[in-house]
Amino acid sequence: MSPDVWKTIAIVAYLAVMLGIGYAAFRRTDDLDDYMLGGRRLSPGVAALSAGASDMSGWLLMGLPGAIYVSGLVESWIAIGLTVGAWLNWKFVAPRLRAYTETARNSITIPSYFENRLRDTSRLLRVASGAIILVFFTFYVSSGMVAGGTFFEGSFGLDYTTGIWVVGGVTLAYTLFGGFLGATWTDVAQGSLMLLALVAVPVVAFLDLGGWEPVREGILAAETSGAVNHLSFLAGASVTGVISAAAWGLGYFGQPHIIVRFMAIRSPRDAVAGRRIGISWMIVSTVGAIVTGLVGVAYVNVRGETLENPETVFLYLSQVLFHPLVAGLVLAAVLAAIMSTISSQLIVSSSALVEDLVKIAGRAMTARTEVALGRLGVLLVAVIAGLIAFDRTDTILDLVGFAWAGFGAAFGPLVILSLYWRRLTRWGALAGMVVGATVAFVWGRSPLADTLYEIVPGFVLGGLVAIVVSLLTPAPSEAIREEFAEATRRATAKEAAAA
């Protein structure tokens, strides 16, 4: 059989397994709480792998190796910042958010948590949160569609549009019916596949070239112009450039599709085990992606070839190093990264549309109607994101970076303040959220984005505005302060018991 047939068999088998998992989850989904949060029954291992897989997306296997391939280790500051940010998120946000979302009237979405935590009877906080989620997740889901189109174009020579239809269609199918459990269970399988691929590809390429010295010589030979020093963390970097890259870690505190996993774990004490599993997965995976980019420089140079699209370096290595069937399974890891993130983002977008925008009208609905509306929300966001993806004006990293900054600036400061500062008020939260999102959006679409990543000014200004406005408005009620104390007590007691 031809190589393309072997690869197609592997990809089709992978897609069939994902659909099977989605169907199994569909059988376990009875109401909106199951559809949006899986009934808060996730084990720490499942939550950790799901958070990691839904976080990294096609950026991990395509965007990051491509950036390293072009610019060298200076691009790894993004990975360093993300790893530190993820550890801090698991350490300081996960246990308290799990406790507080249950204490605050069993909140199952980030917007409903903000509303319940701050007793916002105006509903403005919830509506603003839901609107921000829909806007930025549409761009985020679109980045996954772009990655899917690029994947099939680079791996099978298919049309870019066809790739979008395949990735979008299958992901939509298992997310539409399986809901949160479908997205989470597929995340675990996809996260495991990603980890194996990110270990296998750089290791085999490294050994095939003969070890470190031939790899180093190949990299140096590729740097004939002297414009790039691939083995330096600082060559060609500016202070603002390093700050911008490392500042990606700030985004973790405000990513709805990641922190919703914290809300779904069985108890606050499971956050300790989840942190250990999740960060271990992340370190191995990001190191694998970085090494893939570096080895790719040497490998392409040794073979005397060129890559038209640097973001396909992982795809290139997998196809030249392995038997077509194995290469197909490795390529499936790229699909895993893309689809795991899309599915998680579709679920959160759906929850924002149904739980946070439609249900606040106060109209009573049956559990079946709520789930049906949730599925309609998934379909709507997927269609709009797909339309954006057909226009290939932005790279995968550009789209991911824009959405990541938007969520980090809008929600990150509020998540931290709501968990650790009892003086936060609803007006302070609303002002901080709007300022953070607006600054990130405007800055990210202006020339200023070339000098400093928009998450930095957005996060700082959003947090400062939230604090100042909170201090200028009436203090929270006694009921809010008592609930804050209870949630804090529950989180710290159970985390201490798990340590």
What was the pLDDT predicted at 30? 63
Residue 189, token pair as written in the block = 């399988």
What was the pLDDT predicted at 402? 83
Domain boundaries, the chain: 3-396
What was the pLDDT predicted at 35? 58
What was the pLDDT predicted at 34? 60
What was the pLDDT predicted at 111? 86
Closest to 220 measured CA to CA, from 314, 287, 302, 305: 302
What was the pLDDT predicted at 367? 66
CA torsion sign, 483 to 485 to 490 to 495?
positive
* pLDDT string in tens for the chain (499-residue length): 777 788 888 888 888 887 787 777 777 766 656 655 556 677 888 888 888 877 776 678 888 899 899 888 988 998 999 999 999 999 999 999 999 988 888 887 888 899 999 999 888 898 888 888 888 888 788 878 887 888 788 777 778 888 888 888 888 777 766 666 777 777 788 788 888 889 999 999 999 988 888 888 888 887 665 557 888 888 777 888 889 989 999 999 999 888 888 888 888 889 999 999 999 999 999 999 999 999 999 998 888 788 888 888 998 898 888 888 888 888 787 777 777 778 777 877 777 776 666 666 656 666 677 677 777 777 788 888 888 777 766 666 677 788 889 999 999 999 999 999 999 999 999 999 999 999 999 998 888 888 899 999 999 999 999 999 999 999 999 999 999 999 889 888 755 555 5
SS3 per residue for 145-178: HHHHHHHHHHHHCCCHHHHHHHHHHHHHHHHHHH
Residue 438, token pair as written in the block = 């607006």
Question: What's the CATH number for 3-396?
Answer: 1.20.1730.10
Distance from first CA to last CA of the chain, Å, rounded?
Answer: 54
